[in-house]
Amino acid sequence: MAILEIKKYPDKILKKKTSPVDSIDDELQSLIDNMIETMYAAPGVGLAAPQVGVSKRLAVLDISSKEDKFPLIVLINPVISNKEGIIEFEEGCLSVPDYTAKVERAEQVLVNAVDRQGKPFEIEAEGLLAIALQHEIDHLDGVLFIDRISPLKREFFKKRYKKAAKLDKINQE
């Protein structure tokens, strides 16, 4: 297994809608293992394939460090088939380091996906698991959590990001 490079904002792959996984083969199994290792090493509670430079509908989640009852979940070709309620939650992202913001999401979701053995399954989720599922599935649709905040907060983030990038460039010279 290997720890993969996590793509950071504004990498173009993070804004691209992903392609469905059409074959669950050894190469995909290896990618899943590497994504799991990368997520734990980061450390994060979820990781989507575009975040490691792969434009496929694949994500891994493990919120057990926050809520014991939810072990590791592998999602292949996930789709949110139902949403209910509204909740606001402070989110961060491995691809948008050192920034968090309150994001409005559905409080409960129903997600249909395929596991790493190719077996279809359904997850009914609420709370943190529902938020994490929506966050990772957004990645598969080319949407970052900063796309879900107010235009004013997004502008503030972009200015802060440009300033930090400029400082990094100066420090590297």
**Which residues participate in catalysis according to the annotation?**
136
Separation of CA 52 from chain center: 10
